[in-house]
Amino acid sequence: MTSKPIPVALFRLGQIVATPNALAHLSQGDILVGIQRHQAGDWGDLGEADRQENTLSLEKGLRLFSVYRGRNGTKFYIITEWDRSVTTVLLPEDY
């Protein structure tokens, strides 16, 4: 049996919070996988310009933004604030 490698954390997440709307429409598994991908620098469904912005944000200590889809197709965002104090899981309409 082979196991998946553990992703490397590129930054601190701080306190992890989610909007009530995100909690109502996403599974805990979707949120966990999204957070793991976000912290590993897998920004999900971002275009190239936004990916480059996240690369710069990692270097300069700015806000980080990712976009994912839950297993049920629900689009959601994960945002880590510039000071790495809070990471928020939210749906586009919560933004």
| DSSP for 56-88, written as a single string | HHHHHT--EEEEEE-TT--EEEEEE-TTSSEEE
Structural domain includes residue 19: yes
Structural domain includes residue 10: no
Total tally of structural domains belonging to the chain: 1
Structural domain includes residue 4: no
* Domain of 48, in residue numbers: 15-94
pLDDT for 58-70, tens place per residue? 999 999 999 999 9
Measured CA to CA, the distance from residue 32 to residue 37 in angstroms comes to 9
How confident is the model at residue 1, as a pLDDT? 54
Element (H, E) at 94: none
Structural domain includes residue 8: no
Does residue 2 have a pLDDT over 70?
Answer: no
